Structures are given as structure tokens and as C-alpha cells.
């Protein structure tokens, strides 16, 4: 009986996710003048659908930290500690990998992404990744390190307080709602239907992590139809790991927003008009 309920919840989760993303895409197409505001549709859905879908199962909502009393997960300091630790471990090699990748690609060495080009040819976005990289590389100096490190303009607005605005916006309008929905709700529902079968650095992982991360990545195409957005699958796996390791949705939320801010900084510094 429990297995049947879990499978029904998983089916309902897939259905409501499809409706949410298709509704978002439909609104953008039907009312293009409101394209800048349709993100509120996703924002509300991410925050409130999980608790509503589990309204008859408050214990499950509480376990997934998506309710039952509200959409904001309870603050836990250990979540911040785990996020900081993961930033210290992951960011240094990531920065080096980022710089190496674009130094290679912008000098014409695309061997590492040829499989992606091949797969893209079978999709509606054929050629978009190549054009995206070409646009970026027009502003790359061809060297491993940027000529200088530059803060994004948005961080310097409001008399230097723009960074704090971007941080707050990144937490409450981007990272937290996405984590509540994809890690809190979808992962929790899927894991009850398809329990994890193996462990990664002490954390149970399985098809639920892969499926919820795939939905997270494909969902990024809803706003920007660039196949490069599918790369969000990989950080999503990391978000799953830190959520289950820490036991707090604030851990992936804070690591998520820190990752986004780091990417803004790297992109601004690496691709400067020559």
C-alpha cells in the first residue's frame, strides 16, 4: 500500500511539474509583453505547489521541508556550514576548470564538446551551442587567465550595495524556490517511489537524484532555449548530495546562490570586450 501511494505521488509530481513548466512557456508565448513578469508564475508554483500537493500528508511535507506550515524551510545553521565547506572544496578546482575549458574552446579546441554537438543536431536547438560559444569567444583574450578580474556591473549599482541586492534576489527569487521544488519536493517524492540503491561519499543516491536533476536541467530551457543550459544537470547532482548530507534545504540553497554569483563573476571577468 505504501509503495502504491509513493508511486501515485511520483506520478502526480511529474504531472504537476509538466503543467507548471508548460504553463510558464504558454504564458510567455501568448502574452509576450509580459515575458519579464511570467517568472512570478514559476516562483509561486515552486514555493507553494509542494505544500499543496502534500497537504494531506503533513509528516511527508515536514520531512521534505516544504511545509506544512509554510513554503520556507526552517533555518538551520548547519546548512550554512555545509554550504561554506562545499564552496571551499569545490570552487577552486571549478574555477581552474572553467578557465581551462574556455581557453581551449576559444582557441578552437572543441574536442571535449563534440559529443554535445552531435546530440544537439537531433534537437530543435541544433547549432545553438556553437553560436553561443562563438559569441562568448569574441570577447575572450585567448589566454588562460583574464587580463583583470572585474566585478559585474549589477554588483556595483545602488552606491555599491548592488551585490547585496543580487544576493537577496538570488536566494529568495531563484535558489530557494528552485531548491524547495526540485530538491525538497521532487527528490523526496521520487525517493519514496524509487529508493536509492547506492551511496556517493556516504549519501544514498539513485534514480530519484538523476530524474529530479534531469527535470531541473530541462526546466532551464523553458526560459532560455540554449542547450548550454542543460549543463545545470551536474550542479543539481551536487545540490542533491549536500541536501541529503546536511539534512537542511538551506545547504543547497546557499551553495546554489554562491555558485550563481561565482559564475556571474567569472563570465564578467573572462569575457571582456577587447
Per-residue confidence (pLDDT) for residue 273, from 0 to 100: 53
Segment 96-153, tens digit of pLDDT: 999 999 999 999 999 999 998 998 888 887 888 999 999 999 999 888 999 889 999 9
Q: SS3 helix, strand, coil % of the chain, rounded to 5?
A: 75, 0, 25
Q: Is residue 122 part of a domain?
A: yes
Q: Is residue 159 part of a domain?
A: yes
Segment 30-77, tens digit of pLDDT: 877 777 778 899 999 999 999 999 999 999 999 999 999 999 999 999
Q: Is residue 46 part of a domain?
A: no
Q: Is residue 68 part of a domain?
A: no
Nearest C-alpha neighbor of 183 from the set 54, 65, 18, 34: 65
Total count of domains within the chain? 1
pLDDT at 82 over 80: yes
Segment 222-250, tens digit of pLDDT: 887 778 888 999 999 999 999 999 999 99
Work out the angle at residue 183's Cα, subtended by the Cα atoms of residues 170 and 85, and round it to the nearest 5 degrees. 65
Compute the mean pLDDT over every residue in the chain, rounded to the nearest whole number: 92
Sign of CA pseudo-dihedral 14, 20, 23, 29: negative
What is the rounded distance in angstroms from the CA atom of residue 67 to the CA atom of residue 249? 12
Q: Is residue 224 part of a domain?
A: yes
DSSP secondary structure code for residue 74 in this structure? P
Here the cell at position 256 is 546554489
Q: In the structure, what pLDDT confidence band is assigned to residue 204 with cuts at 50, 70 and 90?
A: very high
Q: In the structure, what pLDDT confidence band is assigned to residue 215 with cuts at 50, 70 and 90?
A: very high
Q: Is residue 233 part of a domain?
A: yes
Expressed as residue numbers, the domain containing 183 is 75-270
Q: Is residue 206 part of a domain?
A: yes
User: Which residues is 200 bridged to in the sheet?
Assistant: 203
Per-residue confidence (pLDDT) for residue 2, from 0 to 100: 64
Q: pTM for the whole thing? A: 0.94
Q: Is residue 258 part of a domain?
A: yes
What share of the chain in percent tops pLDDT 70? Answer: 98
Residue appearing with cell numbers 578557465: 99
Amino acid at each position: 500500500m505504501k509503495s502504491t501511494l509513493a508511486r501515485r505521488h511520483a506520478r502526480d509530481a511529474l504531472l504537476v511539474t509538466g503543467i507548471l513548466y508548460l504553463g510558464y512557456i504558454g504564458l510567455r508565448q501568448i502574452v509576450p509583453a509580459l515575458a519579464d513578469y511570467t517568472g512570478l508564475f514559476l516562483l509561486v508554483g515552486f514555493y507553494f505547489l509542494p505544500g499543496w500537493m502534500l497537504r494531506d500528508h503533513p509528516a511527508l511535507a515536514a520531512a521534505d521541508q516544504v511545509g506544512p506550515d509554510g513554503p520556507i524551510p526552517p533555518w538551520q545553521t548547519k546548512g550554512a556550514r555545509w554550504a561554506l565547506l562545499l564552496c571551499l572544496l569545490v570552487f577552486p578546482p571549478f574555477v581552474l576548470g572553467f578557465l581551462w575549458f574556455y581557453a581551449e574552446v576559444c582557441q578552437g579546441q572543441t574536442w571535449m564538446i563534440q559529443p554535445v554537438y552531435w546530440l544537439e543536431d537531433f534537437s530543435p536547438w541544433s547549432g545553438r551551442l556553437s553560436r553561443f560559444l562563438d559569441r562568448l569567444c569574441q570577447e575572450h583574450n585567448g589566454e588562460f587567465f583574464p587580463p583583470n578580474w572585474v566585478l559585474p556591473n549589477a554588483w556595483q549599482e545602488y552606491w555599491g550595495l548592488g551585490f547585496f541586492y543580487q544576493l537577496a534576489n538570488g536566494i529568495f527569487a531563484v535558489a530557494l524556490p528552485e531548491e524547495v521544488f526540485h530538491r525538497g519536493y521532487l527528490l523526496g517524492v521520487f525517493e519514496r517511489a524509487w529508493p536509492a540503491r547506492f551511496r556517493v561519499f556516504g549519501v544514498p543516491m539513485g534514480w530519484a537524484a538523476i530524474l529530479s536533476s534531469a527535470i531541473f536541467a530541462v526546466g532551464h530551457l523553458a526560459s532560455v532555449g540554449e542547450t548550454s543550459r542543460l549543463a545545470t544537470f551536474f550542479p543539481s547532482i551536487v545540490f542533491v548530495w549536500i541536501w541529503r548530507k546536511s539534512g537542511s534545504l538551506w545547504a543547497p540553497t546557499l551553495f546554489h546562490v554562491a555558485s550563481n554569483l561565482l559564475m556571474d563573476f567569472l563570465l564578467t571577468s573572462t569575457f571582456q570586450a577587447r
